[in-house]
A and B are shown apart, each in its own frame.
Chain A
């Protein structure tokens, strides 16, 4: 048995080649599971999903009915009692304060105005949880922002927030970039959204809203989306020589040289030794099973 307090030198694995420096083997239980769906809220997909779900439900019910008919006919032919008629299940109602908001048709005047002004550059407008969302074509974002800021009926003076999301499971785009605009004079909020594929360089919002400067730098730092005409497109939170983009879904949470301390495994037996030592000081024999 080695000395209990002997320093354990961790074996530092060699960095594998690749875009990221990480070691999956060190911590298999902490691997990132890549998302399989594209959780992009949208009225169109919501309606399509609802329709598909209703159709599937109906088809299932028709199949149950058909099965019942054949079973009934079979029972009659054999002279047995008829089987019980099926009852269509009613969706269960939960007694709680939960009411998940779903995307609804745009009724707000601002959204309709934007749609009228931008025409076919608008991909989608809807409202969800009381928030106005307008998805525009990725090339037209600067035009949409300029309209929102300067149009007398809109007047969104402040760009409160700008951020992005990575959707690796999506086919024709990889990221969404969202702009949260606030109208101080009219007390309104609006979300503009664009979907950009990998490598696409959207126009920077800096000429219109100077507050976009750092936010776009953060998006570049975390997601790797570059913006055109940005005054200073450099990393902001990570060091300049950082590899990879941390908020992408394929970026691992465990890094090279990081030791995964797992107390349950207690690979070196250190914890057991400490426990035995402490127990010995207290006069408890942990090795012997407790008498009933």
Chain B
């Protein structure tokens, strides 16, 4: 009556919990996963090839569209990589505004993660709460650059525009209520028995495996490794900021949840410091009208909400477009750890594992 053989099923490519078009091939023994293989490439648009055939400036809009949840962070990495390639010093005020917007972006990205991750696991209410605050962050984006998601916020050498009038009022209004909002989410989840049962001890990835697999970001910090590029290789204005790198040692889905919640608090702290210590001055470096590269190759990594986003650029002498444009997408590398987390677990926990990875397929496939 019972067959004692393994079953192979597909999770995705069209599945609400895969956050995009991700196909996961699973081999099951009952409900236990014996083999897991993520299959990607459904959203491959050839961003690298396109950016190699466009000017240095035009590549920016493609960085927005890779990880559309953290467009500002992608822009920041892109802008800084180009600045490193050309050897541009960015004015201090521009650095502060970049840091400020980047932290807002981190909050927005973590909120969308919180909402969708909780929804995947079955806690539907948090989604509505998280998206309420995310709207405010998007309004701040809109006030700064006129666009909400694909911001194209920065330019090579600084910013296009200074902060708009009334910006500080918006920020202060947001900061005043945000900590109580975080408490609201935590009241819904942190001590929730069902949430704890679904997340504690699920999808474990210890520090050794995480480092070997190149996993970065909150995933790595939840495994007890305090590696944050904002601290380790400071960029923008992070060297002047006072913040902590939250870590946990449990290395499970619950620990990742706690790390991300703590990170949002730290982001609010950094925003407050940016607003308090905002220097005066220009927001754009003095640059020639046309930027022509020299022979140079740079790899610049920044801490995006998902992990280390790195841009590898090669410049040709006298050229207007990059000779090589490569993106080290955090999701691409982090997703490699899914088999390690899922194998041996239950099928329902794969959804929790994917949610705790916080992936965006637009960035993974590029």
A, B: real partners: yes
Residues of A within 8 A of B (CB): 32, 35, 37, 39-41, 45-46, 94-102, 128-131, 133, 157-161, 163, 165, 178, 180, 182, 184, 187, 189, 191, 209-211, 213-215, 218, 222, 235-239, 246-247, 251, 253
With contact pairs A187-B233, A210-B212, A246-B49 given, residues A40 and B295 touching in the complex (Cβ less than 8 Å): yes
What are 13 pairs between A and B in contact, CB < 8 Å? Answer: A41-B295, A97-B286, A100-B86, A129-B296, A159-B214, A160-B214, A160-B308, A161-B328, A210-B212, A211-B336, A214-B332, A214-B333, A237-B365
Is B317 located at the chain interface by the 8 A CB criterion? yes
With contact pairs A46-B295, A97-B286, A189-B233 given, residues A211 and B212 touching in the complex (Cβ less than 8 Å): yes
Tell me whether B227 and A184 are in contact (CB under 8 A): yes
Q: How far is the CB of A53 from chain B (nearest CB, A)?
A: 12
Rounded to whole angstroms, the CA-CA distance of A218 and B88 in the bound complex is 31
Tell me whether A237 and B294 are in contact (CB under 8 A): no
Rounded to whole angstroms, the CA-CA distance of A180 and B295 in the bound complex is 19
Is B198 located at the chain interface by the 8 A CB criterion? no
Is B29 located at the chain interface by the 8 A CB criterion? no
Q: How many of chain B's residues have a CB under 8 angstroms from any CB in A?
A: 56
Rounded to whole angstroms, the CA-CA distance of A214 and B331 in the bound complex is 12
Convert B299-312 into 0s and 1s, putting 1 for each residue whose CB lies closer than 8 angstroms to a CB of A: 10100000010101
With contact pairs A128-B297, A209-B212 given, residues A101 and B53 touching in the complex (Cβ less than 8 Å): no
Please tell me which one of the listed residues B52, B312, B365 contacts residue A161 in the complex, with CB atoms under 8 A apart: B312
Is B160 located at the chain interface by the 8 A CB criterion? no
Rounded to whole angstroms, the CA-CA distance of A286 and B217 in the bound complex is 60
Tell me whether B214 and A39 are in contact (CB under 8 A): no
Q: How far is the CB of A145 from chain B (nearest CB, A)?
A: 13
- A222 neighbours in B (Cβ, 8 Å): 48
Tell me whether A237 and B44 are in contact (CB under 8 A): yes
Interface residues in B314-366 by Cβ distance below 8 A to A read 314-317, 319, 323-324, 326, 328, 332-333, 335-336, 365-366
- B53 neighbours in A (Cβ, 8 Å): 32, 253
- A211 neighbours in B (Cβ, 8 Å): 212-215, 333, 336
Tell me whether A213 and B328 are in contact (CB under 8 A): no
Tell me whether A160 and B295 are in contact (CB under 8 A): no
With contact pairs A160-B301, A160-B308 given, residues A247 and B296 touching in the complex (Cβ less than 8 Å): no
Rounded to whole angstroms, the CA-CA distance of A247 and B366 in the bound complex is 13
Is B281 located at the chain interface by the 8 A CB criterion? no
Q: How far is the CB of B331 from chain A (nearest CB, A)?
A: 11
Q: How far is the CB of B59 from chain A (nearest CB, A)?
A: 15
Rounded to whole angstroms, the CA-CA distance of A88 and B288 in the bound complex is 25
Rounded to whole angstroms, the CA-CA distance of A237 and B44 in the bound complex is 6
Rounded to whole angstroms, the CA-CA distance of A160 and B326 in the bound complex is 13
Tell me whether A158 and B211 are in contact (CB under 8 A): yes
Is B123 located at the chain interface by the 8 A CB criterion? no
For A165, give the chain B residue with the smallest CB separation: B324
- A253 neighbours in B (Cβ, 8 Å): 49-50, 53
Tell me whether B214 and A180 are in contact (CB under 8 A): no
Tell me whether A37 and B87 are in contact (CB under 8 A): no
- B84 neighbours in A (Cβ, 8 Å): 101, 129-130
Residues of B within 8 A of A (CB): 40-41, 44, 46, 48-50, 52-53, 84-90, 157, 211-216, 225, 227, 232-233, 285-288, 294-299, 301, 308, 310, 312, 314-317, 319, 323-324, 326, 328, 332-333, 335-336, 365-366
Rounded to whole angstroms, the CA-CA distance of A196 and B85 in the bound complex is 24
Closest A-B pairs by Cβ, 9 of them: A211-B214, A161-B328, A97-B285, A39-B316, A237-B41, A99-B87, A96-B286, A237-B44, A165-B324
Rounded to whole angstroms, the CA-CA distance of A181 and B327 in the bound complex is 15
Rounded to whole angstroms, the CA-CA distance of A236 and B40 in the bound complex is 7
Tell me whether B328 and A160 are in contact (CB under 8 A): yes
Q: Which of A102, A130, A161, A213 has the most CB of B within 10 A?
A: A161
Rounded to whole angstroms, the CA-CA distance of A95 and B287 in the bound complex is 8
Can you name 18 extra interface pairs (CB under 8 A) apart from A98-B86, A128-B296, A160-B308?
A: A35-B316, A39-B315, A39-B317, A45-B295, A95-B286, A96-B288, A99-B89, A100-B86, A129-B296, A157-B211, A161-B326, A178-B297, A178-B299, A211-B213, A211-B333, A214-B332, A237-B365, A253-B53
For A212, give the chain B residue with the smallest CB separation: B214
For B323, give the chain A residue with the smallest CB separation: A39
Q: How far is the CB of A33 from chain B (nearest CB, A)?
A: 10
Tell me whether B336 and A214 are in contact (CB under 8 A): yes
Rounded to whole angstroms, the CA-CA distance of A211 and B86 in the bound complex is 30
Rounded to whole angstroms, the CA-CA distance of A39 and B48 in the bound complex is 17
- A236 neighbours in B (Cβ, 8 Å): 40-41
- B41 neighbours in A (Cβ, 8 Å): 235-239
Rounded to whole angstroms, the CA-CA distance of A41 and B312 in the bound complex is 13
Q: How far is the CB of A50 from chain B (nearest CB, A)?
A: 12
With contact pairs A99-B87, A161-B310, A210-B213 given, residues A129 and B157 touching in the complex (Cβ less than 8 Å): no
Tell me whether B214 and A35 are in contact (CB under 8 A): no
Tell me whether A98 and B287 are in contact (CB under 8 A): yes
Q: Which of B53, B215, B324 has the most CB of A within 10 A?
A: B324
- A189 neighbours in B (Cβ, 8 Å): 233, 299, 301
- B316 neighbours in A (Cβ, 8 Å): 35, 37, 39
Q: How far is the CB of B157 from chain A (nearest CB, A)?
A: 7
Tell me whether B214 and A209 are in contact (CB under 8 A): yes
Rounded to whole angstroms, the CA-CA distance of A95 and B288 in the bound complex is 9
Rounded to whole angstroms, the CA-CA distance of A215 and B46 in the bound complex is 16
Rounded to whole angstroms, the CA-CA distance of A59 and B336 in the bound complex is 58
Tell me whether A191 and B232 are in contact (CB under 8 A): no
